[in-house]
Amino acid sequence: MKKSLIAGALGSLVFLSACSSGRSDEANSVTQRGDGRVSAQSVSGPLDPVQGQLSDGVFIPLAAALSGTPLEGVVLCADQLVANDVLDIADGVLAQLQAAASGGGAQPDPAAVAASLQSLVVDLTGLLSALGGTGDGCLTRSLTLAQISAGGNPLAGTPLEPLGTALAPVLAQVAGALDATEGSGEDLQLTTVAALYSQINTALQSGLSQIPAPARSAPVVGGILTTLSTAFTDTNRLLGATLAYNASGTQMELGNTLYNTLVNVTTQVVPVAFIEQQAGQPGLISSQLRAAAAQFSAALASALGQVTTPVLSDVLAGAAEPVLDPIENQVLPAILGPIIDALASGGVGSGGSPLSGTPLDAVVGTLITTLTGLLGGGGLGGLPLGGSCPLASVPLLSVLCGLTGG
């Protein structure tokens, strides 16, 4: 059974890579619709290599390991929202900073930012469904206005209910506004797009602030919610600085957006911070990842205005490797195997997580048990107190072994 599940996960990895936020040229057109349908799209830019590495190197392997569980769809939606939609907005701003340095316009193309906003509406609608245990994990890239409005709150009656209550109606309003504007044939103004984005961000932050703290700390799910919260706030500030024609402020907010996204994806979505907490050593590993992410932001700042956009893509791709390579080559292999083993042995079904009452309860409970067991000596992973530490052979994580007090 274990071999079958691993084969299925690998097969899912191949399939999901084709559906990931890898930068497909087919998705780069921005269309005027006004036909009652909102479609997700991707926009090309200098950040494409970083976006592809985040998606293919982090989100897709994690989703593949969780294949067949309700959490798979949540991770896939996070992939679209973080690696694709949010960073596409930053991509548009970054490309325009490069153009401005060469004597071009000072603000990003409103149509491109609107395309990213449409994607946010589609994928946030999908995320609500995935958190409620339904939907296809944001693989559907186009929804009608009626579908968005009819979605309601799939999280009603669960600890995550405030998120759906706050977000669902706003998504319907923004979708309608985007469709009406496009149908009019008028050019979208960046101020309009930014105002619509701000409405979504306000609703998202309001909903997240009302979710019980234990649910916000659940491994993977809580990390995704934290990552989205920070990324949306950062992007809101980025658009504000851009609208104010504040070049230095825009550059600073762009660096903050990329830094925080890299840190949160590699420490929160990938549950490094959770494992640190279980070891009683918060920040021991994540501090190294933060330092690498700071170097990435510094590389971005030094390259802006000095190199052309095509060259910048290469610079940024290489600059992200110190952050992402340890996650891809050490952390994920160390945790995905035991997760697959736990699922194959029937671990799902134990429940007892902070998401009790949701379809995610059982799989999150299994994650907590499995990740705690990686440290050895905790007893929660089926290992006796003082047992061996499976992380001992992982260079980045071995320092955590033996630090638990039981």
| pLDDT, tens digit, 9 for 90 and up, residues 384-396 | 334 578 898 899 9
Residue 26, pLDDT score: 38
Q: Which DSSP state fits 392?
A: G
* Banded model confidence at residue 29, pLDDT cuts 50, 70, 90: very low
* Banded model confidence at residue 183, pLDDT cuts 50, 70, 90: low
Which residue did the predictor score with more confidence, 326 or 185?
326
Specify burial of residue 385 (Cβ count, 10 A radius: 0-12, 13-18, 19+). Answer: exposed
* Banded model confidence at residue 159, pLDDT cuts 50, 70, 90: very high
In tens, the pLDDT along 222-253 reads 999 999 999 999 999 999 999 998 888 998 99
Residue 292, pLDDT score: 95
Lowest mean pLDDT among 181-190, 262-271, 312-321: 181-190
Give the residue from 306, 287, 293, 285 showing the smallest Cα distance to 257: 293
In tens, the pLDDT along 285-295 reads 999 999 999 99
Is residue 182's pLDDT more than 70?
no
Give the residue from 225, 236, 199, 195 showing the smallest Cα distance to 93: 236
Is residue 400's pLDDT more than 70?
yes
Are the C-beta atoms of residues 340 and 6 closer than 8 Å to each other?
yes
- Name residues whose C-beta falls within 8 Å of residue 337's C-beta, 6 or more positions apart in sequence: none
The mean pLDDT value for 44-61 works out to 93
Residue 359, pLDDT score: 93
Which residue did the predictor score with more confidence, 66 or 350?
66
Helix (H) or strand (E) holding 144: strand 142-144
List the chain domain ranges: 2-372
Is residue 89's pLDDT more than 80?
yes
Residues in the chain: 406
Identify residue 185 by its one-letter amino acid code: G
What DSSP string describes 207-242?
HHHTS-HHHHTSTTHHHHHHHHHHHHHHHHHHHHHH
Q: How many C-alpha atoms does 35 have within 13 Å on its Cβ side?
A: 7
Residue 20, pLDDT score: 46
The mean pLDDT value for 318-342 works out to 93
Residue 109, pLDDT score: 84
* Banded model confidence at residue 6, pLDDT cuts 50, 70, 90: very low
Instruction: Tell me the H-state helices in 161-220.
Output: 161-184, 190-209, 213-216
Q: Which residue has the tokens 């930068």?
A: 23
